[in-house]
Structure 1
Amino acid sequence: MGRITNWMKTVWEQSMFHRAMLVAPPVALLLLAAFWTVGSRSAVQYYTAKVEKGDISQVVQATGTINAVTTVQVGSQVSGTIARLFADFNTQVTKDQVISQIDPAIFRAQLLQAEADLENARANVTGLLAQIETQRAELLAQKANVDKAQAQLTDARLNLQRTKDLFDQGIVAAALRDTAQSNYDGALASLHVAQAQYEQSEARLKSTIAQLDQAKAQVEQRKAAAELAHVNLDHTTIRAPIDGTVIARNVDVGQTVAASLQAPTLFVIAQDLTKMQVYAKTDESDVGKIKVGATAQFREPGAHERDHNPKRRHLRHHHRL
C-alpha cells in the first residue's frame, strides 16, 4: 500500500499530462455509471380522471369509554360493618329494594338511649307542672295569710287607739295601754312576715315556671336526638334508589365502611343498559370539527368487533392545565 502511494505521488509531480492520466480513469467510471443509471429509467406515465363534484369528509378519531346513560352511585350515610349483602354484579333491582344491611346494633342502642332521654325529659316537664300547681296553691295560702295579718293589724290599731283614749281619760291603767301597744307591734310584724313569705312563694313560682320552659326546650332537644337516632338506624338499611342493574359492587360482608368525611360508594347501578353513551376525549385542534348532532361511528373491541352509528348528544368544554 505504501509503494502505491509513493508511485502516485511521483506520477502526480511529473507533469500536467501525468496528472490528467491519473484522474481520467475514475472520472470515466463515474460518467459510465451515471449514463447507465439514466438510460435504465422507464418513461414517464400520466393518468387522467373525470372531474366529479362531491363532499369532503373530515374524520376525528378518539378513544373513549362506553357507559350507561344514567348511573347512580349508592353510598352509605353511616359508618359500620357490612352485615349482609342482598345484591351482586348483574343483579336486577327495583327502587327501594334492600341491597345491603349495615350492622344496626350500635344504632339501635343509640335510639333506645335517645328515647329514654326523651321520656326522662317529658317526666321532668310533668313533675314541674305538678310543682307549679302546688306552688300556686301555696301562693294563694300566703296571700290569705297576708290578708289575715292585715286584718289583725287593723284590729290591733283600733284597739290601741281606744286604749290610748281611755288611758288619757284616766279610765284604764297604763298596763292595758302597754298591752294594746304590744299587740299592735306584734300584728305589724306578723304582717311583714306574711308579706315576705308571699313574695318568697311568688319568686319560687316564677323560678319553677322558668325551669318548665327550659325543660320543654330539653324535650324538643331530646326529641330531635331521638329522631336523628331513628334516621341513622334507618340508614343502616341500604336501598336501591332506582330500577336498574348492579354493574359494580365495592364491598364485602364484614368490611367496615367509614362515612366520616364522605359517603363511601357501595354499589353502582345502571338504570337501562339498552341505552348507552360513549365518553371520548379529543385533541384541542379537533374541537372545531365536532358538532352536536353529527354522525359518529365507534367500534367496540373484542372477539366480535361491531360498528355502531350513534348521534353526538353533548359537546363539553373542559380546560385542564
Structure 2
Amino acid sequence: MRYRRLGRSALQVSALCLGTMNFGPRTSAPESFAILNAAVGAGINFVDTANQYGGQLGVGTTETIIGDWLAEDRSRRDKIVLATKVHEPMSEDVNDRGLSARHIQMACDASLKRLKTDHIDLYQMHHIDRAAPIEEIWQAMDHLRRQGKITYVGSSNFPGWKIAQANEKAIAARQLGLISEQSLYNLIERRAELEVIPACREYGLGVITWSPLAGGLLAGDAPDQGGRRQSDDMKRAASSRSAQLSQFASLCLDLGQSTSVVALAWLLHQDGVASTIIGPRTKAQLTSVLQAPEVTLNAEVLARIDAIFPACGPAPEAYAW
C-alpha cells in the first residue's frame, strides 16, 4: 500500500480509503469485520464513515458496527485514521441536523459513543449548511479540538467558494482550517475539476474522492455484480454510455487490468487527490482492487482515457469567453 499526506497536514493516509456505507444495510456485521480486517492487513489505514449511515437499519448503524470491531481489539484504534461526518438528519428533531454549534457538539459525542472511541481523527462536514455562519462552525470545531475529541476538520460535498470562505476565516483566526474535501469525482463525473479541486490545491486540502467507480458503471466485470448496478437507473446509464464504456474496457484489456483498477489508478494520478474511497460490499470486492495504487499510467494512456472521458476544462475558460 502507498501512503500520502492528507493535504497540507503531516498526516499520512493510505491511497485507498475504506468506505463503510454498505456496513449494516448491505453487509452483515461479521462480513464487515472481515472486510475491515482484510483492509488493515493489506495496509489500508484510512477508514471513512458517517453518523447517518445505516440505511433501513437506522442512522448510526454503521458507526456502531465499526465501534464493535474496534472494541473487539483495542489495539486496532491506533492503527487507523478514523473519519466520520456530521450534518445529515439524525431524527425528526428540527435541531438534530445541520451545522449549528449545538448539533456539532451533540453529534460528535453521539458518534464517539457509537464508535467506542475517545477521539475522531478527521471530522468532516457532510454538506454545507447555508444557515450556519462559518464563525459558529469554527467555534464549535475549535471547542471539540480543545476537548481532544477531534484532531482535524474536513469538508464533504463543498463547492469551491465555500472551501475558500471556510479557510479564509480560519486563516484570519490563525487556525489550521480544513485539511481535506471529500468530493464526488470519477471518470464520468469530472465537474469537480472546474472549481472544487483548484480550490483544494490553492488552500492545501487533500481531495478524497467518493463514488470512484460511478456507482458501478466503471466496475466492468468486477466480482459480485449485485446491488446498485442491477437497478433500472444504472442499467439506463450503462446503456446511454455503452460506447464509452466499451472503449474503456478495451483500453483496460490492453493494459491487462480490470476497469475498476484502472478507474481507481486514474484518480490517484490526478493532482491534489490524496486518497480514493472504495466501498466494498464483500471481501472479494475489496481484494479485487487492492493493487490500484501500484498501477502506473503513462502519459499516452492518460491521454487515451481523456479522449474517452473528456475533461471539463479549466474554470472559468470552460464556460466563459
Q: TM-score range by the shorter chain?
A: under 0.3
Higher fraction of helix = 1
Structure number with bigger Rg: 1
Structure of higher RCO (CA pairs closer than 8 Å, 6+ residues apart): 1
Give the structure-2-normalised TM-score. Answer: 0.16
Give the structure-1-normalised TM-score. Answer: 0.16
